[in-house]
Amino acid sequence: MLTNPLTNPLTKNIRGPENVATDIARYEDNGGYRGWRKALQLAPEEIVKRVQDGGLRGRGGAGFNTGLKWSFVPRGEDSPSVKYVVCNADEMEPGTFKDRLLMERDPHLLIEGMAIAAYAIEARTAYIFIRGEYALAAARLELAIAEAKEAGLLGSNILGGDFSLEVHLHRSAGNYICGEETALLNALEGRRAIPRAKPPFPQVSGLWGKPTVVNNVETFCNVPHLIEMGADWYRGLGRGEDAGSKLFGVSGKVKNPGTWELPMGTPIREIIEEHAGGMQDGLKLKGFLPGGGSTDFLGPQHLDLPMDYDAISKAGSRMGTGTIIVLDDHTCPVGLVLNLTQFFARESCGWCTPCRDGLPWVVKILQRIENGEGLPEDLDLLREQAARMGPGNTFCALAPGAAEPIQSALKLFEQDFIDHITKGCCPYL
């Protein structure tokens, strides 16, 4: 039997410290739900245009213009009456932990952003599809949903108006593939989590065949401030072409690993050396993955690049989730790539051959090299397999993403692979 999280004694101690705005009173004292109240005074089309003009790009990795994505949802008398908003909170990308912090420390911000999105596309039902391991985030979100409903900010006839919205929390029992939006929708429907063929795209035919907008946690969390303050203000937050602020993270052997909200376009050097404190004593930067485990390695020569979508793309990688994984000169790049590939191979849904069969084969080759049993021709095999798993050869981006650290490591750290083979052991041990 479901219990009210506001009165359940098991949830009363999950609020968190004083500096965490998990309750609605503290959230509203800090300006919370102003964007939602302002949105309800606008026409849905105005909200979509404001988000599009503000230049908000998806914070889940693809970087597609959010307002433009919303504009693809059918409107008018002939459009379906049932529509959905879905939050992709299935954060499992290696090296990525930003959405967890948002949900644990500012759950009402996510709910407010989703409410605005639902009003903008005229949806009356929204789902938060959250990673099953995020127990604390789920509990705080349940409390926040109950509080917002009790305050009249969710539910029927919100704030005395005609708009109604129900928000539901769905805890995932799946794996990494559920982060792909169409596999997520299949899982939410209670079916096998495999990617769907596109088109049709979810905005036209998504959850249960109805128009659906799927966005990432951080994307929704940008919406309330954009609506409240306006598109020009939001664009002014960025240092370059990309608008707004972004949660950037750094993991690896730095002095101060963590996550920080910074302007879009903040230089990589500033993020690693100032905010993350630089490399630990006695270590040097050898390379880094700029946007989580499924991006291409970049080298020290790229430290002065701005962290924005286009600049990182031109350098041969992707900004992805904006969470940097640092590789130091005492850590084996072959072992690092092996570790990542083992993860991706385990998380494959098995739907298409390059991913299902290709990734385990790559794991065997990398393991052989790491064990000092590799052959010179193994490097050509790895390159061939990375190409076969590339874009256009699979149903979704899991295998192409897994191929990125492999192919880039072979370019930047080829000598390390050769040393493993010629010396018959891992030189870093």
Supply the pLDDT for residue 78.
87
Supply the pLDDT for residue 13.
59
For 245-328, CATH number?
Answer: 3.10.20.600
Supply the pLDDT for residue 1.
39
Show the tokens assigned to 223: 């919406």
> Residue 171's beta-bridge partner residues?
130
Supply the pLDDT for residue 429.
87
**Is 252 in contact with 238 (CB distance < 8 Å)?**
no
Is residue 56 helix, strand or coil? coil
Measured at the CA of 318, the angle between CA 236 and CA 392, to 5 degrees, comes to 130
Supply the pLDDT for residue 159.
96
- 200: cis peptide before it, omega within 30°? yes
Crossing angle, helix 107-121 and helix 135-150, to 10 degrees?
60
> Residue-wise pLDDT tens for the chain (429 aa)?
345 666 665 555 566 666 577 899 999 999 999 999 999 999 999 999 999 999 999 998 788 999 999 999 999 888 899 999 999 999 999 999 999 999 999 999 999 999 999 999 999 999 999 999 999 999 999 999 999 999 999 999 999 999 999 999 999 987 899 999 999 999 999 999 999 998 999 999 999 999 999 999 999 999 999 999 999 999 999 998 899 999 999 999 999 999 999 999 999 999 999 999 999 999 999 999 999 999 999 999 999 999 999 999 999 999 999 999 999 999 999 999 999 999 999 999 999 999 999 999 999 999 999 999 999 999 999 999 999 999 989 989 999 999 999 999 999 999 999 999 999 999 998
- The answer for 123, left when phi > 0, alpha when psi is -120 to 50, beta otherwise, is beta
d(CA 372, CA 199): 46
Strands 245-251 and 258-263: antiparallel
d(CA 224, CA 291): 25
Supply the pLDDT for residue 240.
87
Q: Where are the beta strands (DSSP E) in 91-181?
A: 125-130, 166-171
Is domain 9-235 given the CATH code 3.40.50.11540 in the classification? yes
- The answer for 322, left when phi > 0, alpha when psi is -120 to 50, beta otherwise, is left
Q: Name, in order, each residue with C-beta under 8 angstroms of 192's C-beta and a sequence gap of 6 or more.
A: 186, 349
Name the pTM for this structure: 0.93
Nearest one of 344, 328, 345, 337 to 378, comparing CA atoms:
337
Same fold, 9-235 and 245-328: no
Domain 333-423 maps to which CATH number in 1.20.1440.230, 1.10.3720.10, 3.40.50.300, 2.60.40.1220? 1.20.1440.230
- The single residue listed with the structure tokens 């493993």 is 420
Domain ranges of the chain: 9-235, 245-328, 333-423
d(CA 27, CA 142): 15
C-alpha distances in Å from residue 45, one per residue of 9, 72, 138, 290, 302: 43, 12, 31, 35, 41
Supply the pLDDT for residue 7.
62
Nearest one of 20, 207, 28 to 103, comparing CA atoms:
20
- The single residue listed with the structure tokens 């080759």 is 365
Supply the pLDDT for residue 173.
86
**Is 130 in contact with 103 (CB distance < 8 Å)?**
yes
d(CA 372, CA 421): 6
Residue type, 413: F
Crossing angle, helix 333-347 and helix 414-423, to 10 degrees?
100
**Is 146 in contact with 25 (CB distance < 8 Å)?**
no
3-state DSSP of 225-282? HHHHHCHHHHHCCCCCCCCCEEEEEEECCECCCEEEEEECCCEHHHHHHHHCCCECCC
Residue type, 278: G
Supply the pLDDT for residue 174.
79
